[in-house]
Amino acid sequence: MLPYTAYLRVYQPIAAFSHRDRAYWTAYAESADRPRRVGAVAAEHDESLRRLVATPPIAAPRLESGDAYVRRMGGDLYVCPWQTRLRSWLALRDFRTETPAALAGAYVPEAVSAEAERAFEAWRDRGEPLRTQILTSTWTVPLPWFAPFEAKERCLVLDGGAGPDTGGAARPPGRPAPSPRALLYVTEMALARERLDRAIAVLREHLGDGAAPAAAERLDDWLTGVAHPGALLELDYGGLVRLLGDEELRSDDSVAEVAAVVTGLETGQEELAVAMYRRVTERWKAIRALEHAN
C-alpha cells in the first residue's frame, strides 16, 4: 500500500452482516482502542510496510484483519472491513501479472508468492467472497469515481480543523502533513447508483464503446457485486492530499466538473463538456506527473 493512494469504500449497514459478524462489528465500533478514521489509513500503511520489509517479505497476513472503517449516519452504524488479507492476495496477483517474472522475483521471492497463491486458492475453494469493499488508486483518482457523488457531499478538512492554513503551498512528496488533512465525499448507495447509471447511459449514447463508458461500467459492476442497497459510498483522497496545498484542495471541483461533462453531453452543450473534460483531466495529469518528480 503506497502513501499516495486514494480510496473508494463501501460501508455496509450493520444489518447486512451475519449475526456473528454483526455482534463483532458492533462491539468493535464501541471500542476505544480501534483506529479512528483519521489514523486508520496510516495504520493500514504501517502494517503493510512492516510486512514488506520483513525477511522474507510477507505477501499477505496469515489471518484476515479484524479492523474496519466505521461510520455513523442518522443513528445507524455502517462498517467497511479492511479485508487486508484478501486485498493483499489480489494485489499480489495483479503485480505478478503486470511485472516481468525476473523483476517480480526481486521484490517478492517465488517461494513467498507460491505460498500466498496456495492460501488464496484454498480460500477461493471454500467459496469465500473474492470482491473487496475497498478500491485503491495510486497517484490519481479515476474519473468514474467522481460520477456517483455531488459537489455538496464534499467534506474538506485542513490542518485537522485547527491552526492556520499553509497558504496554499504544496508539501513535497515524501513529507507527511503536520496534522490530519482530508478530502472526502460520502453518499447513500441508492443515490450513487442512480448518478452512475445516468452517466453510463449518457456516455454510451454519445461515446459508444469507448474507454470512458467501459470504465464506468466496471465501477458499476463492482458496486453491484459488493454493495447492500442501504450502504454508503465514500471517496477518500487519502494520501493524495499530501501532494496538494490547501488552496488546491479548496479549488478541486472534480466531482462538479465530471457532472458537467455528463450534463453537457446530455443537453447538447458539447463545448461545455469538452472544456470540463479538459479541465479535470489536466488537473489529474499534473498530479500524476508528481510520481516521476525528483
Q: What pLDDT is attached to residue 53? A: 67
Residue 176 has pLDDT above 80, yes or no: no
Least confident of 42-56, 142-156, 202-216, 249-263: 42-56
What's the mean pLDDT in 172-193? Answer: 76
Q: What pLDDT is attached to residue 159? A: 74
Q: What pLDDT is attached to residue 164? A: 31
Using the CB atoms, write b or e for 73-91: b if 16+ within 10 Å. eeeebbbbbbbbbbbbbbb
Least confident of 92-106, 116-130, 264-278: 92-106
Q: What pLDDT is attached to residue 38? A: 66
What's the mean pLDDT in 203-229? Answer: 93
Strands 5-13 and 154-157: unpaired
Give the CA-trace dihedral at 19, 20, 22, 28, to 10 degrees.
Answer: 160
**What is the sign, positive or negative, of the torsion defined by CA atoms of 155, 24, 220, 214?**
positive
Higher pLDDT, 65 or 212: 212
Return mean pLDDT, the chain: 85
Q: How far apart are CA 137 and CA 4, in angstroms?
A: 9
Q: Count Cα atoms within 13 angstroms, Cβ side, for 180.
A: 15
Helix axes 110-125, 84-98, angle to 10 degrees: 130
Which pTM value belongs to this model? 0.83
Residues 184 and 288 sit within 8 Å (Cβ to Cβ): no
% of the chain beyond a pLDDT of 70: 89
Strands 68-73 and 154-157: unpaired
Least confident of 55-69, 70-84, 239-253, 276-290: 55-69
pLDDT tens for 101-117 read 777 676 777 777 888 78
Distances (CA, A) of 253 to 146, 207, 225: 10, 23, 29
Q: What pLDDT is attached to residue 243? A: 92
What's the mean pLDDT in 206-224? Answer: 94
Of 49-53, 87-91, 98-102, highest mean pLDDT: 87-91
Q: What pLDDT is attached to residue 13? A: 97
% of the chain beyond a pLDDT of 90: 56
Q: Count Cα atoms within 13 angstroms, Cβ side, for 141.
A: 27
pLDDT tens for 57-94 read 777 778 878 899 999 998 999 999 998 888 887 877 77
Question: Cell numbers at residue 45, please?
Answer: 500503511
Residue 3 has pLDDT above 70, yes or no: yes
Question: Cell numbers at residue 203, please?
Answer: 456516455
Q: What pLDDT is attached to residue 174? A: 45
Q: Is 100 exposed, middle or buried (0-12, 13-18, 19+ CB in 10 A)?
A: exposed
